[in-house]
Chain A
């Protein structure tokens, strides 16, 4: 699995080296096909990004306080049976490794490196997976951060959360606080989600967010994002986000996005937060026009492509209520209504009660009912869950359990209910550096007559100051 992960790292590295992409594709396909050399813009981005990194390295202060390295490894092995074709079920036993490495000045201003990815290897090799091994580098970037000054540079594969920018990119992101409550976030590079998909190439993404904040009054942000494919603009989005802290401890939050390609508002989502003693009320409203919300040109993927052309409008109205009944007991109620221009409307209501003990100990029960206008849009959902923490006196760290039972008004594949059960336990060793967890679950639902699965999970943490 580590090998798979390293191979993925190599794949990413090849993409970032001049000429490496063509080399990689040629080695995979074994022949030259038209369109390879459209990747040149991508190389220019890589070169520009590397150059930008060098400029950052030269331009930043050279102070190097104590560095730190942190490693977290999650190793998971699952076991189950699947019908892969033929009369008999066959064993499926994939092993996963999630590896996270962070190094450098992690808590003080300075440079640091962050990476995280996963690899999978199927020990049973019964052709359940398309490939016996697989994996992905989820992020890997060099960072310069100065928290006191509100400055943050990131170069490499990373996630962007900035208004309409909600993407993973291979590129550069710069965040800065300009003073007087003004913040700026700009990013550019290649969108990871579109890379190497069915021979597609030449994608780029850039955008940013400008925020105006007054800590006691709120924040307004304007954001934009453009995705291009070989210089053709395929997605152009403008966003407005809002947080207003009102008198009486009320807060108003909102987000609107406008699709500049289809020239319409895709989304308006607004909510109030109303605290009243031990209660918190969250009434909210949302309006979505499918043409503008899902319509992102050639970028729209199924099943959303169909929705983008059906002209539907959805209005969502809801209320979440939480009640802190006591230090140990939380109660919650969710109410939500969906209303459409074309489809039938639906309403959902649920209630939740959670009792808390020490640490993570809790026991909860939740019941909800979806009431659509059609029978096939109705179901009852119940859940009982528990987690008992601090069981070292019994030689265990914790015991967990979960039961989910649902009933569908109209049967799905001939079955009108489903049952899911899971139970697990675990404990820590080596001063909490190693945690071992074992769990098993059982499903009986429209897709599985009777499905039993097992999971072994090992989490190892290493932290060392250099």
Chain B
């Protein structure tokens, strides 16, 4: 018990130190929300249509939502989740990345055929092949007892 309290005390201390330090910070920071009057439209954005690909503030190019962005955005989220949050609320991510959901994303958003939702169509049959060939992609979402609950009926 003492150890846990110590950890949280340290976390709080670090939080206060952080709060003190950021007061002297001068870097550019993305806003909490993308300006609403930017006219982003409905289509997935290509950031560099408006922003420079890279400038002294930020590298926007890596956030271009091109054809395969939905399958390759892990690194951007690990390093700059703050930028994701300018347009997406956490609930958007939770369609795929959540501790416990019953509806797979391709069913919850069935009419959104423009999103390359995972597990569409015959996935139940096809995952016997793909899961065996590259199981590393499965564990990113099904890594703990709750998220692996959908695996349990067959895999035990």
Q: Which residues of B are found within 8 Å of A78, using beta-carbon distances?
A: 107
Whether A149 contacts B29 in the complex (CB less than 8 A), given A188-B11, A302-B151, comes out as yes
Could you list some 7 contacts between A and B, CB below 8 A?
Answer: A163-B78, A172-B11, A215-B54, A243-B62, A302-B156, A314-B134, A446-B122
Establish whether residues A44 and B1, one from each chain, have CB atoms under 8 Å apart when the complex forms: yes
Asked if B18 is an interface residue, CB under 8 A from chain A, the answer is yes
Question: Contacts A52-B12, A78-B107, A243-B62 given; 16 further ones with Cβ under 8 A?
Answer: A41-B4, A48-B5, A51-B8, A59-B16, A114-B90, A134-B102, A174-B11, A180-B27, A200-B145, A294-B135, A301-B145, A307-B135, A387-B111, A420-B120, A457-B110, A457-B111
Q: Which residues of A are found within 8 Å of B139, using beta-carbon distances?
A: 293-294, 304
Encode B53-68 as 1/0 by CB contact (under 8 A) with A: 1111111011000111
Establish whether residues B99 and A245, one from each chain, have CB atoms under 8 Å apart when the complex forms: no
Establish whether residues B29 and A455, one from each chain, have CB atoms under 8 Å apart when the complex forms: no
Determine the distance from Cα of A422 to Cα of B122 in the docked complex, in whole angstroms: 12
User: What are the 6 tightest A-B residue pairs by CB atom distance, in nearest-first order?
Assistant: A404-B121, A193-B144, A179-B25, A48-B8, A176-B18, A424-B111
Q: Which residues of B are found within 8 Å of A377, using beta-carbon distances?
A: 129, 132-133
Residue of A nearest to B1 (CB): A44
Q: Which residues of B are found within 8 Å of A303, using beta-carbon distances?
A: 131, 135, 151, 155-156
Residue of B nearest to A40 (CB): B1
Establish whether residues A439 and B19, one from each chain, have CB atoms under 8 Å apart when the complex forms: no
Encode A207-235 as 1/0 by CB contact (under 8 A) with B: 00101000110110101000000010000
Asked if A466 is an interface residue, CB under 8 A from chain B, the answer is no
Instruction: Tell me which of B30, B82, B114 has the highest count of chain A C-beta atoms within 10 A of its own C-beta.
Output: B114
Determine the distance from Cα of A181 to Cα of B22 in the docked complex, in whole angstroms: 11
B156 to chain A, nearest CB (A): 5
Residue of A nearest to B14 (CB): A186
Partner of A175, one of B82, B124, B125: B82
Interface residues of A, count at CB 8 A: 155
Establish whether residues B145 and A198, one from each chain, have CB atoms under 8 Å apart when the complex forms: yes
Asked if B39 is an interface residue, CB under 8 A from chain A, the answer is no
Contact surface of B with A, Cβ cutoff 8 Å: 1, 3-5, 7-9, 11-12, 14-16, 18-19, 21-33, 41-43, 53-59, 61-62, 66-68, 72, 74-75, 77-79, 81-82, 89-91, 93-94, 97-103, 107-108, 110-114, 120-122, 124-126, 128-136, 138-140, 142-148, 151-152, 155-156
Whether A282 contacts B72 in the complex (CB less than 8 A), given A106-B33, A176-B22, A418-B122, comes out as yes
Establish whether residues B148 and A301, one from each chain, have CB atoms under 8 Å apart when the complex forms: yes
Establish whether residues B22 and A179, one from each chain, have CB atoms under 8 Å apart when the complex forms: yes
Q: Which residues of A are found within 8 Å of B3, using beta-carbon distances?
A: 41, 231
Partner of B110, one of A215, A249, A424: A424
Establish whether residues B29 and A147, one from each chain, have CB atoms under 8 Å apart when the complex forms: yes
A323 to chain B, nearest CB (A): 9
Partner of A168, one of B55, B66, B91, B99: B99
Establish whether residues A241 and B4, one from each chain, have CB atoms under 8 Å apart when the complex forms: no
Establish whether residues B19 and A151, one from each chain, have CB atoms under 8 Å apart when the complex forms: yes
Q: Which residues of B are found within 8 Å of A286, using beta-carbon distances?
A: 136
Asked if A402 is an interface residue, CB under 8 A from chain B, the answer is yes
Establish whether residues B7 and A188, one from each chain, have CB atoms under 8 Å apart when the complex forms: yes
Whether A215 contacts B55 in the complex (CB less than 8 A), given A72-B91, A139-B90, A147-B30, comes out as yes
Q: Taking chain A's interface residues, is the majority helix, strand, or loop, or is none over half, making it mixed?
A: strand
Determine the distance from Cα of A150 to Cα of B23 in the docked complex, in whole angstroms: 10
Q: Which residues of B are found within 8 Å of A219, using beta-carbon distances?
A: 79
Establish whether residues B129 and A376, one from each chain, have CB atoms under 8 Å apart when the complex forms: yes
Determine the distance from Cα of A441 to Cα of B24 in the docked complex, in whole angstroms: 57
Encode A271-294 as 1/0 by CB contact (under 8 A) with B: 101010000101000101000011
Encode A108-130 as 1/0 by CB contact (under 8 A) with B: 11000010101010000000000
Q: Which residues of B are found within 8 Å of A51, using beta-carbon distances?
A: 8
Determine the distance from Cα of A198 to Cα of B144 in the docked complex, in whole angstroms: 13
Establish whether residues B19 and A176, one from each chain, have CB atoms under 8 Å apart when the complex forms: yes
